Amino acid sequence: MAGVQVSNVSRSFGAHKALDDVSIDFADGGFYALLGPSGSGKTTLLRQIAGFDFPDSGRIAIGGESVERVPVEKRRIGMVFQNYALFPNMSVADNVAFGLSVRGEAKAVIAAEVQRALDLVQLGKLGGRRPHQLSGGQRQRVALARAIVTKPRVLLLDEPLGALDKALRVDMQIELKRIQREIGITTIFVTHDQEEALTMSDRIGILRDGRLVQEGPPEEIYDSPKSEFAATFLGDANILRGDSTGNGIRLADGTTIAAGAGVSLAAGTKASCAVRPERIRIATDAGSTVQANGNVLRGQVSKRIFAGNNSTYFVERDGQTLKVIVQNTGIERLAEGQDVMLSWSPESTVLIAAS
């Protein structure tokens, strides 16, 4: 087992920079999610680490040693592809056995290891089947068993759950996490799905246009995003724009918004504040309780979406639509068109330099 250090890696395809000076330290035994929109370079980064492709500049080390001149088959990595890439000409057991058998292990050793790996992914009885006789979730587990049976130092997963439906996806997430904990392998997991990234990983890296936008534990990125992009890409956020007051912003209409978190900015520069929709309280305008030194904005409900345990209100204010999510704990409901007052604490407000 080993950590992975990516230092200042760049990779261009023609004039297009798929990776632009990316540095990430993947800790030994950690579960790391790479998140980003389509085309942001997630797969490209994974391919550099695997050794299918090579960086134009920068350095990659696995377990402390540089892998610049180490070909794929010597890197001792396990990879699970988005389309699973199972060998269609082999049975499930032969697929899983492949990595051990090309290494020339003894037949008895292979049989035992394969059975153990199949049991681990709970497919112990399906060894004799062909890949095309399996469901999507079963194929994904075979791909995982095949990748871990060789005891790789690093496990690379490129959107392995992308093709599964929601229920199966959640099952697989739990199982993947269980297996990862059980064998304690450094895991780098590429996903489109922010919820998946939040629930599964120890750390998250957000990529955009080949650059690493922000990196850290899920809570840290969610609670203190460093850019509007990070704030809106991981979870929902209301972005208010104005001029910095040092520890908050002044909106165009003169209202000030106080921020308790984020960067400190010189007064007068352009800046934004991000607030999560579930942190905002909403009440009818007349006679409501306002928190001392809280942020307050008035507006009008333009739309309400009922989703069972919660409701989302869209509130018009000064030409901007703000989103508020309220748990449906009582029966009080606000009608569309109603004037409302929004309030939230400065601690829930993050100051961000304008992008």
Partner 1 sequence: MAGQVAIGSRSGLRSALPLLLPAYLWLTVAIFLPLSAMVFFSFMTELPLSGKAWAFTLDNYTAFFSQGLYLTLLLASLRLGLEVTLWCIVIGYPAAYVLAKVLKGRSREAIFLLVILPFWSNGLVRIFSWAMVLREGGILDTALNAVLPFKINIDLMYSYPAVIIGLVHSYVPYMVLTCYLTLQAIDDSLIEAGRSLGASRLQMLKRVIIPLSMPGLVAGAALIFVPVVGSFMEPRILGGRTGTFYGTVIEDQFVAVFNWPLGAALSFILLAVVLAILALAAPVLRRAA
Ligand X SMILES: Nc1ncnc2c1ncn2[C@@H]1O[C@H](COP(=O)(O)OP(=O)(O)OP(=O)(O)O)[C@@H](O)[C@H]1O
Binding site for Mg ion (CB under 5 A): 43
Residue 218, binding choice from ligand X, Mg ion, partner 1, none, Cβ under 5 to 8 Å by partner class: none
- Taking CB under 6 A as the binding criterion, the range among 33-41, 63-71, 137-145, 310-318 that sits at the site for ligand X is 33-41
Kindly give the pairing relationship between strand 203-208 and strand 31-35.
Answer: parallel
Which positions ≥6 away from 100 have C-beta within 8 Å? Answer: 109, 110, 113, 114, 149, 150
Do residues 236 and 230 lie in contact, with contact meaning Cβ atoms separated by under 8 Å?
A: no
In the complex, least distance from residue 83 CB atom to ligand X, rounded to whole angstroms: 12
Q: Are 144 and 174 in contact (CB under 8 A)?
A: no
| Between 60 and 340, CB nearer to ligand X | 60
* Residues contacting partner 1: total by CB under 8 A: 25
By the rule CB under 8 A, 99 interacts with partner 1 = yes
> Which DSSP letter does residue 268 get?
T
Judged by CB under 8 A, the stretch of 78-86, 213-221, 233-241, 302-310 that binds partner 1 is 78-86
| Distance between CA atoms of residues 143 and 202, nearest Å | 23
Is 326 within 8 Å of 276 (Cβ atoms)? no
Nearer to Mg ion, 180 or 191 (CB): 191
Size, binding site for ligand X by CB under 6 A: 12
Return the one option of Mg ion, partner 1, ligand X, none that residue 9 interacts with (CB less than 5 to 8 A, by type): none
Could you tell me which stretch among 41-49, 61-69, 102-110, 343-351 binds ligand X (CB under 6 A)? 41-49
Task: Return the sign of the alpha-carbon dihedral for residues 169, 173, 178, 183.
Answer: positive
139 touches ligand X by CB under 6 A: no
Instruction: Pick what 18 binds: partner 1, ligand X, Mg ion, none; C-beta below 5 to 8 Å, kind-dependent.
Output: ligand X
Residues within window 137-196 making contact with partner 1, judged by CB under 8 A? 146-147, 150
**Residues 6 or more apart from 15 whose CB is under 8 A from it?**
none
